[in-house]
Amino acid sequence: MAEVLNSVVESIGRTPLVRLERLTAQAGVKGEILAKLEYLNPGFSKKDRAALG
């Protein structure tokens, strides 16, 4: 179950990352390729944290 937050402000700075395992395998690279899901930020932008501070 997903974490329930008390305020949208609590979600700032916690942008989800997704591991792209198939892309890593296809590219034949060692390590991991991660995608940061910026669209899940409260303001749909990486600038949310700057606005908070």
Q: Is 47 a catalytic residue?
A: yes
Catalytic residue selected from 30, 36, 46, 47? 47
Q: List, as one string, the DSSP characters of 1-53.
A: -PPPPSSGGGGTT---EEE-HHHHHHHT-SS--EEE-GGGSTTSSTTHHHHH-
Catalytic residues: 47
